[in-house]
Chains A and B, each alone.
Chain A
């Protein structure tokens, strides 16, 4: 068995040398190949188990959980971490994901014991500061969007969509219009939109985009009918464009007795500059983990508060904070017309603290400046690259994302995927690929406001050099990429055909250990 740089046996089927196990690029065995059931990194007193209160339900099967001492754990997780790209280590221009800088003051504030060490069900009189914080965050969100209410509790964007659509469904039922069973979703929408609509029993009707990448108000009007409950529209849309006819669309939707759900994933482009409430939206989730800088953490946790128009406000779920004589109170139970509860407790307090910290740091002026810088950066990338790349929708200035299609790669033998993987070898995280679906071989670049001009110039230089190289026929640099990452391209087909979803002790071999 080959050995890695720690002198440990590496896992079955791996090699410990070469691109993935040398110098400062670590290779690391699985925790179960390092630790065993006797090692532990915590010191706890041994107590006798008196089992009569366990009523015969005590454990008889073995846990077989590997443990690590503290130094072993520290090294395992530090070494693993170094196999990740992160926003702190380099540009992360994933379109639709808003990978902006995560200020560390936010982390420090979220860890104050007055926020992190309070229980959701301790008496309300002992958490008045927490309720005040929720109230303040609500005020910021409603003010920035010019809306009547906000439901803070959704756990992420898709959860917020679910809540918003539930509120719309409840409102339609309250109007006696439960027969409205169709939701309009433009073809360029995020996958979560149709998934959410279907999840609560709506049928989804796609709305085609115009050739210029925006939604056609006439197409919306044609699709509206007495069976339509709502439209789910992203604005700015997933092609990076502000919908120029959004006000007309909202009016047509309302005239037809339907509601306007706005996917707020791209709010970063317009915060402090445009208020979605002024455009006629009825509900919009705000990804605190995108727009308001709470860290993505390798896939969450997020938070997806939903702002609501006056028409939908009565259908907000519990809990919410309300002013009372004795201070602030937490309304935890269903009142008239409310749709109930979409999560236990009160939502993502840890994210509320971080988001409010971010808002207070920026202020109204800083948020508007951030949005404008995000738009400036995307347009700068587009301007610097459009002579080499193909721009599918050149009619409008882009908002906070620059979108290219793959026609510039025609006849090069290089695909969007190959191009993205080559970017990895140049030290950048790839852009979002093959999304939105309405653009062939899409490359969606969202630099965010956090990138300096110097970084953008370096990124554009690399992109230009790659495009030129691809057009000159040097396809191997792309098809073989990445060469310098901790792993080369992974066999996803094999992973799906023969799923291995947990570690099993290799049959007939000795346990791998030091």
Chain B
């Protein structure tokens, strides 16, 4: 077995040093009835080339995004990741290190996390960011719990523009909580949250661009929330939008949660992804997740450590702010490298290019008979209403090699008024030819 260094001779020699007759003697605490008392219906070990062939066969059954025109978004976006990013994150010292518990020999990871936190704080316009959470959806649930701790109030209002999976995760985390208000889907982009804010409200949760692609007014929302002592939680599933949209921090957001996958990370069928969380300075002691801070070593040299860990499970146990331990370190590294490569100039250009391609897409779709574009505002994603059930249209287009977006009904089964809606995204990778192919195919399917 290529991964196991011992020869049988060495095993025997080691058993001799231990003073055990055989390996089973080391398992003497295991009840006899449970030790090797079975035959596993599993294959035996296999050479590398056979394992590879098996997995390639599975991979080949999937239609990769790069195989044809591709417009799928709704919380995960296909962007170009520079070759440098994937090369660097595969370096042994990044890939095969653990959580930086020993700071003297983890300064690489720690300095990177400090840089990452700074980048996230800058793009969101917030005071501080943590060192990552699992993803945007679990980050949203954590933000809701954090807001409750901060305000000592319970009512939480989720906008109907929040990604339905994010809503479902919050619902699972707050199971059967009567103080959780989930508003109905708002595919037309109608503002829906403000009228539900009252004196018992801990937080309102608004996604922008929302699930349907509409841009939401954060400034008004922040003012309305703050007037009642509630917090504004802003959710962003497409982090590239921050290249052209105003930072939520500048508009009054109290907690910002983003799905960071778009920068540096592949689609990966939904994971691993990267939860970003940023907040105001005065809220950090209620923030979940790891934080990296600057300090000095015994010689006075600048260095970095994990800090404020009295919030965390390994110290506080049942009184911790969250049970999170492992997070998304390597995805944060990929994000940070990609963001460093972009810089301000590149990040803004990338966002503009996304928006420009989305305008081309929206205009092309609007010209297709039977298609209505619902969005007046958008960044790189929009919702269209077609004259037939969307799921069937999307399926037929897939059979023609075009991945045309997400039928809203897939995430909102049984919900009224969404059956004919398709959510589509364009990115810098979308070409004029892709858009033309989609428009032509859609014209035929809807004829």
Q: Given A15-B301, A129-B60: A275 and B38 within 8 A (CB)?
A: yes
Question: Which of B64-72, B199-207, B437-445 faces chain A?
Answer: B64-72
- Considering only residues 266-306 of chain B, those with a C-beta below 8 Å from chain A are 266-273, 284, 290-305
- Considering only residues 11-68 of chain B, those with a C-beta below 8 Å from chain A are 11, 13-15, 17-20, 23, 25-31, 33-38, 40-46, 48, 51-52, 54-66
Contact of A344 among B29, B75, B272 (CB under 8 A): B75
Given A59-B245, A158-B325, A503-B115, 5 new contacts (CB under 8 A) = A40-B343, A53-B375, A140-B42, A144-B42, A344-B270
Determine if B128 is an interface residue (Cβ-Cβ < 8 Å): yes
B326 neighbours in A (Cβ, 8 Å) = 156-158, 287, 289, 296, 299-302
In the complex the two chains form, what is the Cα distance from A133 to B40 in whole Å?
19
Q: List the A residue with the shortest CB-CB distance to B428.
A: A44
Question: Which of B147-155, B163-171, B222-230 faces chain A?
Answer: B163-171
A105 neighbours in B (Cβ, 8 Å) = 48, 51-52
Q: Smallest distance from the beta carbon of A365 to chain B beta carbons, Å? A: 5
**B359 near A296: Cβ-Cβ < 8 Å:** no
**B308 near A61: Cβ-Cβ < 8 Å:** no
Q: Smallest distance from the beta carbon of A450 to chain B beta carbons, Å? A: 7
In the complex the two chains form, what is the Cα distance from A86 to B103 in whole Å?
13
Q: Given A67-B342, A244-B29: A496 and B308 within 8 A (CB)?
A: yes
Determine if A295 is an interface residue (Cβ-Cβ < 8 Å): yes
Determine if B179 is an interface residue (Cβ-Cβ < 8 Å): no
Determine if B431 is an interface residue (Cβ-Cβ < 8 Å): no
Determine if A148 is an interface residue (Cβ-Cβ < 8 Å): no
In the complex the two chains form, what is the Cα distance from A54 to B209 in whole Å?
10
**B269 near A278: Cβ-Cβ < 8 Å:** no
**B246 near A503: Cβ-Cβ < 8 Å:** no
**B343 near A57: Cβ-Cβ < 8 Å:** no
Determine if A208 is an interface residue (Cβ-Cβ < 8 Å): no
Question: Which of B190-198, B310-318, B364-372 faces chain A?
Answer: B310-318
A194 neighbours in B (Cβ, 8 Å) = 313, 317-318
Determine if B143 is an interface residue (Cβ-Cβ < 8 Å): no
Determine if B99 is an interface residue (Cβ-Cβ < 8 Å): yes
In this complex, how many residues of chain B approach chain A with their Cβ under 8 Å: the count is 209
**B299 near A364: Cβ-Cβ < 8 Å:** no
Q: Smallest distance from the beta carbon of B103 to chain A beta carbons, Å? A: 5
B259 neighbours in A (Cβ, 8 Å) = 344
B98 neighbours in A (Cβ, 8 Å) = 92, 94, 97, 99, 296, 298-299, 429
Q: Given A143-B42, A199-B322, A383-B17: A349 and B10 within 8 A (CB)?
A: no
**B175 near A169: Cβ-Cβ < 8 Å:** yes
Contact of A67 among B5, B341, B355 (CB under 8 A): B341
What string of 1s and 0s marks CB contacts (under 8 Å) between A33-46 and chain B? 00111111110111
Q: List the B residue with the shortest CB-CB distance to A21.
A: B301
Closest 3 CB pairs of A and B: A67-B343, A114-B59, A297-B330
**A67 near B345: Cβ-Cβ < 8 Å:** yes
In the complex the two chains form, what is the Cα distance from A15 to B296 in whole Å?
11
Determine if B307 is an interface residue (Cβ-Cβ < 8 Å): yes
B66 neighbours in A (Cβ, 8 Å) = 113, 117
Q: Smallest distance from the beta carbon of B318 to chain A beta carbons, Å? A: 4
Q: Smallest distance from the beta carbon of B409 to chain A beta carbons, Å? A: 11
